[in-house]
Structures are given as structure tokens and as C-alpha cells.
A and B are shown apart, each in its own frame.
Chain A
Amino acid sequence: MAIFLVGLNHTTAPVDVRERVVFTSDQSRTALTTLSDRGLLREDVILSTCNRSEIYGLTEGDSSPLVEIRDFVCEFHHVSPAALNGCFYQQTQEEAVRHLFRVASSLDSQVVGEPHILGQVRNAFVLALENKSTGIVLNRLFQKAVEVGKRVRAETEIGSRPVSLSSVAVETAAKIFGKLEGRAVLVLGAGEMSELTVESLSLHGVTNFVVANRSLDRAQELAAKFKGTAIPWEKLDEALLPPDIIISSTSSPDFVITKEHLERLMSARKRRALFFIDIALPRDIDPRVQEIYNVYLYNLDDLKSIAENNRAEREKDIPKADKIVDEEVRLFMRWLEGLAAVPTVTSLRKKVEQIRTAELEAHLRKLGPVGERERNIIDALTQSIVNKILHEPTIRLKRTTDESERKDHAKALRYLFDLDKEEW
């Protein structure tokens, strides 16, 4: 019995390969059932995201079912095996456990520390659990993986710094304005990048959005999405007075707001702080606006370089995270080895019980006809003797805390009682 993992991820397979072997929830259910029906894996879980497709399972013997599983995946997704050549990796036991723990901790992600993978691991497990594809080992493995993921996030800086452009913009806004709830935001241009930033801001409690766009239709569309208001481009001057944050991403070739323009408005704004997020290329906001008192401006390059820096900072904490993972892998492996005593005890009892029933039958036959009552007494007598004899070794084996000692005991027991003939 061994924990086994086979899969591919963003480092081994390009996106056009990965997208062909993605398992939807329904496909996962079918695949899980098929894998166990074919006797390839005893317990199984499929973890499939846009960056990875991995099958975790418990193998019966020591043989590796890599080829069979790979063939199964190809057959399932109607992909020729040649297309997946060299994309698959496999891990067993400790290494498989470590791999899953690192995945759950977002150490194996394309963007280290990204927060979604933990939920995806949890969902993959719940799906398999509901499908009754998991057992004692994988249940514990995945529960632990989720715990490890949480622990790494809490104890390291891996997930703490924003690495996407919109989240960097939001963090900076929060350092200027404190709580963002109740702040007024003006959106110039209704492009995709504006939408992303608006979305991040709205997640932080901003509700007051005004959208100005050269095409009013598009402005209304974006405004409706975030319950804001749309205004025609001609009314821009008035619109510049209330906001605290201005996001700009128009396709205008010239500056939409110049220093001189804004300077005239600042006294009417009572010199309140104003934060420009200029994500347009070419730039919309005259960089000289920063010379105006209490005006802040971040452009696309600023956001990018901060995001890059934060990414590097996150990666600095990888060794710390790996230490946590190692620690948890050790604990898990100890539990897994402890589990090894359970089959020894079970097979010992099974073997002795077989002997007892066989002998009982044989001797009852010799005895000739006996009444129901006498038969029950003899049965109880043999059972009692067997139980009394097995009591001590069972207790002692389970009670041993030292791992190598327990292994030795189990080994001795298996040898003395010749238990290894049976599979466990």
C-alpha cells in the first residue's frame, strides 16, 4: 500500500496541453469511479485547476500504476499519448505527501502565494469524499493538506503582499485614505483594466463609482455592473471635484488631465488628497500633476514594478514555508506508519480466528451429536481462550510509541505467525 500521485502542471505542460486534460466536476466523478472500478487505485482524489491536473491515490501493491493511469487519462480526454509525452510526473509516499502539501500552501503555484489553490484543494477533496472515493488515508492526507496551507499563509509572508496590478493599486489607496468605504471613485475610460481595478475597490467596500467615457453606452454598461453612475464626457470638469481616487484608462493619445487643468480645480476641492491610478498606454495623466500639493499618481509602470518587488519578497519566504511543510510531512508519515500496525493486528486476529473455527468444526464433528447449549459453551470457551491469548500482544503492539520498535514488533509477529502470505 502506498500513496501515489501522477499529474502534470504549469511547469511540465504548456497551457494548450493542460487545457485538454482538465477535469470538470462531473468528469472528476466519472473518472474517480472508473479508476477504482478498474482496480488501479484503492482511494483516489482528482485535483484539477487551470494550472494542474493531478490524480492522488492509494495503490494496492508496490507496483506503479503510472502507465495505466496515463493511458486512462488519454483515453478519458481523447488525447493521443504522444501529445502528453514527458508532461507527466509521478511521486510516491513521502514525496507525494510533500507535493500535495506544497500545492496546498501555494508553493507550487505559478504565482507563489496566490490564494485560490487552497479552496481548490478543499473542493477536490470534498468532491471525492462525496463520491465515496476516499478512505482513511486520503481523508487524513487532504484534511492535513488544507491545514498546512492555512498554517503557511498564517506564519509566512507568502500571501501577504499584493502581486496583481489592481491589488497593488488598492493597497496604495488604502495607505493614503485609510478605510476605503465611502470614498468616491471616478473612472475615466471603461476598459478591461479599469474594470479589474473597480472590482478590487468594490471588494474593499467602495460603492460610490462614477464612470465617464467617450461612448456613454459603454460607460453605462460598466456603471451598471458596480451600481455606479455614468456621465457624458463633456461633464468631466464637474466630475473631477468629488472623487478621492481617479482611475484612468482611456485610449486618448494626449493627456486627459494636465497639471494646469487640475491646479485650477484643487482649491474648489479644498485641497483634499487625490490619488490617480493611470493605467492607460499612452498615459492619460500628465505626470506633472504630482507637483500639485496632496496629489498622488501611480502609472502602469509603478504598479508593475511594485508588483514585481512584492513577488520577489514573497519568494524570499519560500524556505520558511518549506520548513513548515517538511515538519508536517514528517508528522503525517509517522501517522501513516502507525497505521501499519493496524493491519498486522487485523491479520493476526483473522488468522487465529480461521484456525479456531476450523479446529472447532473438526472437533465438533468428532464429538458427534451435541445439543445447542453444549455447542454454544464450547464455542464460547474457544473464543475466550483465543481472546485472552491475543489480548496482550494486541495491546502491546498498539501501545508502542517508538516507531522503529513498533515496526520490529510487527515484523516479528508477521514472521512468527507467518502473516505475510495474506495481503494487507
Chain B
Amino acid sequence: MYIILSWVAVLFYLVTEGLYGFNLFERRPALAKLASRFLILSMAIHFGAMLARSRQFQVVPYNDLYGSLSLFAWMVAIIYLALEFRHRQKSVGAFLLPIPIILLVLATLLNRTERYTPPAELRGALFAYHVTSNIFAYSAFTVSFILSAMYLLQHHQIRIRRSGLLFSRLPSLELLERMNRTSVAIGVPVLLCGILLGSLWARKLHVRWVWDPKLVWSLITLLIYAGYLFLENRGTWKGKRSAIISVCGFLIIIFSYSVVNLFFSSFHKFY
């Protein structure tokens, strides 16, 4: 059941992507509005799919690969939606939506339907908040990464004096910078909360304080993005440099998601 719903959600996301893409070429307010409505609809279906799966297996979405990827995708979408409402600009949607689409497709393809019961220590509200806030923060940084990549691309177009299709469809540097700031400003406090909740939860389980590699890398990530906000705010590192910081931060996230998780981490498996 949830598999079908997942694919339906993918389909709706694709339609949404098409509408946002079309809107880049034919700026019509009605079209842009329709795109946003379709996005909300797609996210509702996607949410339904996650809910159906949780009901069926009695699991929270983040206990396995499907769950965490799918939740990640959903959160990227909702952060984009928040940015769209905050900045009243729809020109970024076409570039950002492929991320949740790819994530959801991957999640659905990699899905395994066996029943999985997590050990007792991986349950409880505190743990749930810890995991969701971390995934939420990483989604915000993913959005920031895409915006930074767009910024660097547009910056390059202006520098090489190329006024082609890319130049005309990519939004202005100013807007990209502004949206980027917003998404990092969402991500930093949420990640901080996530790390704190994690350590609280560890203490509750009476686990001895360990410098888990994953924790170390999360703190590094946090420092990088906090640095971004600090330097951006002071005005010394506006524009291109802050975009580069954001890209670096994202590379570290990828690193800690993959290498650290697989080889070094003791208890962080999927996130």
C-alpha cells in the first residue's frame, strides 16, 4: 500500500517539477500558484505514504534506510516550501525539487519489507526528537548547498559575461544569497538542539560519555555553519565566499553520512 502511495507521490512531485520548470519560461502567476498547490498536494501524499508504512510495520520512519531517506526528502520539500513563502519567489523550485524526488525514488527502490523491531534504547520521545531534528537540520543544509551551487553557477555566468539560457533562468545572486541565509539560519539552531537532545538521551540511558566519531563530525558541521552565519552577518564574507562555506559544510555532511557511518560509528547507523 505505502509503496503505491510512494510512487504516486513521486508522480505528483514530477508534475510539480514540470510546473516549476515551465514557470521559468512562461512567467504566469496562475501557473506558479498551481505549482505551489501541487507541491503541497505531493507532500500530503508523501506524508500519507510514510504514515501508512509506520502503521503497517509499527515503526517510526527513521529506523531504516527507506524511512530516513523518505523523511529526509519530505523535509527538504518542506524547507523549500518555507523559503518560497518567506521570500515570495518561485524561481528556485525547479532547481531544488529534483533532490526530494531522487531521494524518494531511491528510498522506494531500496525498500525492504521485512518487519523490524528496534531495540528498546532506540525508542522513546527524546530519541525521536533527536533524530528528527538532526534530519531536519541536514535537510536545511542540503537546500543551502543547492542554493550555493546555483549562486556559484550564476556568479560564474556573470563573470564570464555569458548571457545565455542559464543566466536568464537562474535567479539573481541577491535572492540566492538571501534564501541561503534563511536556510542556514534554520539549520544551525535545529542541529544544535538535535545534538543536545542526543546527549540528553545518552545520559538518560546511562551511557558513558563517548566521543563518538559521528558526534565529532556533527559538531564540526555545526561550527562551519555557525561560522557561515557569523561571517555573513559581519559582512566580511558575503556572497561567493559564504556560498563556498556552505558547499564545504555539505561535503562534510556527506562524509559523515557515508564514511563515518559505515566505518567508524558505533551506534549511528543510518543518520
Contact = CB atoms under 8 A, between A and B. Distances in A.
Interface of A: 160-161, 168, 171-172, 174-179, 270-273, 290, 293-294, 296, 298, 302, 305-306, 309-310, 313
A161 B168 CA distance: 9
Nearest to B161: A302
B238 A306 contact: no
A171 B239 CA distance: 19
Interface in B129-182: 154, 157-159, 161, 163-164, 167-168, 170-175, 178
B163 A178 contact: no
A178 B175 contact: yes
B161 A306 contact: yes
B161 A305 contact: yes
B12 to A, nearest CB: 28
Chain B: number of interface residues, binned into ranges: 20 to 34
Contacts of A296: 158-159
B115 to A, nearest CB: 52
Given A178-B175, A302-B161, 11 more contacts: A161-B168, A171-B163, A174-B172, A176-B174, A177-B173, A178-B173, A271-B235, A271-B236, A271-B238, A273-B239, A298-B161
B172 A309 contact: no
B241 interface: yes
Contacts of A302: 161
Contact of A273 (B157, B178, B238, B241): B238
A176 B235 contact: no
Given A161-B163, A306-B163, A176 B238 contact: no
B173 A176 contact: yes
Nearest to B170: A175
Nearest to B165: A313
Nearest to A303: B161
Contacts of B175: 178
B240 interface: yes
Contacts of A313: 164
Given A296-B158, A298-B161, A175 B167 contact: yes
B236 A176 contact: no
A293 B161 contact: no
Contacts of B164: 309, 313
Given A177-B172, A294-B240, A270 B235 contact: yes
Contact of A175 (B173, B178, B237, B238): B173
B238 A294 contact: yes
